[in-house]
Amino acid sequence: MLTPITYGEIMVVIRIFGTGCPKCQQTYENVKKAVEELGIDAEIVKVTDVNEIAEWVFVTPGVAFDDVIVFEGKVPSVEEVKEELKSYLEEKE
């Protein structure tokens, strides 16, 4: 079950797509740290099933907020994740 995160009244599901490689793990760690730094209580969902990954992204690692792919094929920095997440949440308001 996917656990949404709350930012004010806004709910977001964050998915990390990857098979467990070092880049995918670093992406997970960076997203987790960004969420913590923004003060969001979240359970970040790791998607490791190859078939499910293929439905979402062509290249791992990948990150999605709700149903929107925001990073694909690169390890985003903590700051990049924070910027994208803040921007995404502002658009949803």
Domain boundaries, the chain: 13-92
pLDDT at 21: 94
Q: Which of 11, 21, 54, 68 is catalytic?
A: 21
pLDDT at 7: 52
Distance CA 72, CA 6 (A): 24
For residue 20, indicate whether it is catalytic: no
pLDDT at 1: 47
52-78 residue pLDDT tens: 999 999 999 999 999 899 999 999 999
Q: Tell me how crowded residue 34 is: count the other CB atoms within 10 A of its CB.
A: 24
Q: Average the pLDDT over 23-45 and give the result.
A: 90
Q: Which CATH number fits domain 13-92: 3.40.50.920, 2.60.120.620, 2.40.50.140, 3.40.30.10?
A: 3.40.30.10
- Cα separations in angstroms, 88 against 22, 35, 37, 49, 68: 26, 13, 16, 26, 9
pLDDT at 10: 56
Q: Average the pLDDT over 35-41 and give the result.
A: 84
Which residues are within 8 A (CB) of 46 and not within 5 positions of it... i.e. 6 or more apart?
15, 16, 18, 28
For residue 24, indicate whether it is catalytic: yes
